[in-house]
Amino acid sequence: MATQTDFRSQIEQYLLRLRTALGRMPDAEKAEILSDIRNHIEERLSDASAGQAEIVAETIAALGTPERLAESFQRERLMARASVSAAPTALLHATFQWALTGLRGFLVFLVLLFGYSFGLAFLACALLKPFLWNHIGLWIDPPAFTLGYISPQLHGAHELLGWWIIPIGYILGPLFLIWTTRLVQWLLRRRSSRTLEAL
């Protein structure tokens, strides 16, 4: 029969594993989460006059393994940061973490990289065209396209848009950045709602 020391030790072991599994989360937030879980278990215990060891075992089973619980906290936290903030660093971090888990995440990460790259390239072209007019633009050297800086004499490429790259760059650049941000935020939210743990 389990003694009080046994189940107290079980709680501490669970919390220790949870603390380790929470990884590089800020200490304050980690402490907050550990307090939440500790108090939840205590709350369950305060309800039961007998069979406390069983209550602890049931509660820990309902919480899931510390590693899985920590993963849920990290995932939700990451999604919250990415969905609240449109900061490129937050989105890059969230999608990079997703990319580590599989092909779908990797594709979303590529979408983000390409979207940002095109957006920045269009803006850079619009900004620099007046100063480097014979080097900056949208160039074609079949079958390749180049958006940005090129030495046309060297590659034999010819320009497609000419000075139109300036208005087009100023329009498409921000649109690429905004659309990419919104698309990735939407994908992250969608993933978050789909991957919540079982009820």
Interface with another protein (CB under 8 A): 33, 35-37, 39-40, 42-44, 46, 59, 62-64, 68-69, 72-73, 75-77, 79-81, 83-84, 193-194, 196-199
Cβ atoms of 152 and 139 closer than 8 Å: yes
Nearer to another protein (CB atom), residue 25 or residue 123:
25
| Phi and psi based region of residue 190 (left: phi greater than 0; alpha: psi -120 to 50; beta: remaining) | alpha
Least spacing, CB of residue 85 vs another protein, in Å: 10
For 79, other C-beta atoms within 10 Å of its C-beta total: 19
Q: Which two tokens stand for residue 40?
A: 């939840």
Number of H helices, E strands in the chain: 8, 3
- For residue 30, the one-letter residue type is K
Half-sphere exposure of 56 (CA within 13 A, CB side): 20
Name the minimum Å distance from CB 139 to another protein. Answer: 45
184 closest CA partner among 127, 102, 99: 99
Length of the chain, please?
A: 199
State the minimum distance, in angstroms, from the CB of residue 39 to another protein.
6
| Closest distance to another protein from the beta carbon of 69 (Å) | 5
Instruction: Provide the minimum distance between the beta carbon of 131 and another protein in the complex, in angstroms, as a whole number.
Output: 44
Euclidean distance between CA atoms 107 and 40, whole angstroms: 39
Nearer residue to another protein within complex by CB, 30 or 135: 30
Least distance in angstroms from the C-beta of 2 to another protein: 21
